[in-house]
């Protein structure tokens, strides 16, 4: 009995091993280059991963790369909670919380309006605007499950995931030099990065690529945005019922209202805030988190296929570019008029 059980577990591990090994090797190479040339390790991991993106296609490495980019990423993000306490969250003040609330609501509202102006359904604007305003591909997939059945729904979801992931990688590279040029300090840079970059991995890469303070602040602000997924999904589900009450068929199980890694992050922050985690365990968790995030970043690079964008028309791309620009300008304007942010 125990031998049969061990064999069943060994089979999925064997399938994941090639991709896990490839992601880890790229992460080791990125760490070596970062230590010798002084550039951010996340940037090296991304660039090396992009150079090896053929491994992310169908093949022996694909399953392990997917596992690294999703599961290891979420474990790494959750372990970041061991670096942060409730006192640090309270130190951010009320301004970032209000900024996140307003930016999510306004970005989605503007996206739905722009989608209608460009000839799309407003629900497509809700899908793309929610992915830009909240947490990238994860938000796109969660919102898609709450929207009504439609012949173009799958294509719209895939498009949104591809574009938002590409945009998130692009702004991860573009925003840090911009913030340096604008003269923003580490704290303000963290607020901006956490409030504007789409996916969690790229927020972490851009934030900790600058400094630990920037990364901590960016992660906290980003987790505030992730928490907005729940009310936005409720809004999407309500809007769906109002617009098409006859659509009752569900295409598979719905995703959780809040990602598990966000809940785990919050739990670890609470445990750490209570002083239940010793310095040694904090250091171990922090180092494990760093390695997992570098491995996940390498895997994300290997998964990225820019040529997929060639099959998409210009108007949907323009819509998501406009949403991204609106969010960035909105946050910069907020920070300009609310220095405490």
- Map the chain to HEC letters: CHHHHHHHHHHHHHHHHHHHHHHHHHHHHHHHHHHHHCCCHHHHHHHHHHHCHHHHCCCCCHHHHHHHHHHHHHHHHHHHHHHCCHHHHHHCCHHHHHHHHHHHHHHHHHHHHHHHHCCCCHHHHHHHHHHHHHHHHHHHHHHHHHCCCCCCHHHHHHHHHHHHHHHHHHHHHHHHHHHHHHCCCHHHHHHHHHHHCCCHHHHHHHHHHHCHHHHHHHHHHHHHHHHCHHHHHHHHHHHHHHHCCCCCCCCCCCCCCCCHHHHHHHHHHHHHHCCCCCHHHHHHHHHHHHHHHHHHHHHHHHHCCHHHHHHCCHHHHHHHHHHHHHHHHHHHHHHHHCCCC
**Does some domain include residue 20?**
yes
pLDDT digits (tens, 9 = 90+) for 218-241: 988 888 888 787 788 878 877 776
**Does some domain include residue 278?**
yes
Instruction: Write down the pTM of the prediction.
Output: 0.69
- For the chain, the domain total comes to 1
Q: According to the model, what pLDDT value does residue 115 have? A: 93
**Does some domain include residue 246?**
yes
Residues 9-29, mean pLDDT to the nearest whole number:
84
**Does some domain include residue 1?**
no
Residues 36-57, mean pLDDT to the nearest whole number:
80
**Does some domain include residue 3?**
no
**Does some domain include residue 5?**
no
> Looking at the predicted structure, is the pLDDT value of residue 8 above 70?
no
pLDDT digits (tens, 9 = 90+) for 235-286: 887 777 676 544 444 444 554 555 677 778 888 888 888 888 888 888 898 8
**Does some domain include residue 69?**
yes
Domain that holds residue 75: 15-337
**Does some domain include residue 10?**
no
């Amino acid at each position: 009995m125990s031998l049969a059980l061990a064999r069943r577990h060994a089979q999925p591990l064997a399938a994941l091993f090639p991709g896990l090994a490839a992601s880890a090797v790229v992460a080791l190479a990125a760490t070596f280059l970062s230590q010798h040339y002084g550039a951010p390790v996340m940037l090296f991991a991304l660039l090396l991963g992009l150079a090896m993106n053929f491994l992310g296609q169908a093949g022996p490495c694909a399953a392990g790369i997917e596992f690294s980019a999703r599961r290891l990423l979420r474990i790494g993000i959750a372990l970041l909670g061991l670096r942060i306490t409730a006192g640090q969250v309270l130190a951010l003040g009320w301004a970032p919380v209000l900024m996140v609330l307003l930016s999510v609501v306004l970005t989605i509202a503007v996206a739905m309006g722009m989608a209608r102006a460009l000839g799309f359904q407003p629900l497509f604007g809700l899908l793309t605007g929610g992915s830009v305003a909240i947490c990238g591909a994860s938000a796109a997939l969660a919102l898609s499950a709450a929207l009504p059945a439609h012949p173009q729904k799958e294509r719209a979801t895939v498009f949104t995931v591809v574009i938002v992931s590409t945009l998130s990688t692009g702004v991860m590279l573009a925003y840090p030099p911009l913030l340096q040029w604008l003269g923003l300090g580490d704290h303000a840079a963290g607020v901006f990065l956490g409030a504007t970059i789409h996916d969690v991995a790229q927020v972490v890469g851009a934030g900790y690529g600058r400094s630990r303070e920037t990364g901590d602040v960016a992660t906290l602000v980003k987790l505030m945005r992730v928490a907005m997924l729940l009310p936005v999904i409720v809004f999407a589900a309500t809007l769906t019922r109002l617009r098409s009450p006859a659509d009752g068929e569900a295409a598979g199980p719905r995703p959780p209202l809040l990602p598990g890694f966000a809940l785990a992050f919050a739990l670890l922050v609470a445990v750490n805030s209570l002083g239940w985690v010793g310095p040694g365990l904090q250091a171990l968790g922090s180092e494990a988190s760093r390695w997992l995030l570098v491995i996940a970043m390498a895997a994300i690079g290997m998964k990225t296929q820019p040529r997929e964008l060639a099959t998409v028309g210009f108007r949907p791309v323009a819509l998501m570019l406009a949403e991204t620009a609106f969010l960035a300008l909105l946050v910069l304007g907020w920070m300009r008029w609310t220095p405490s942010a």
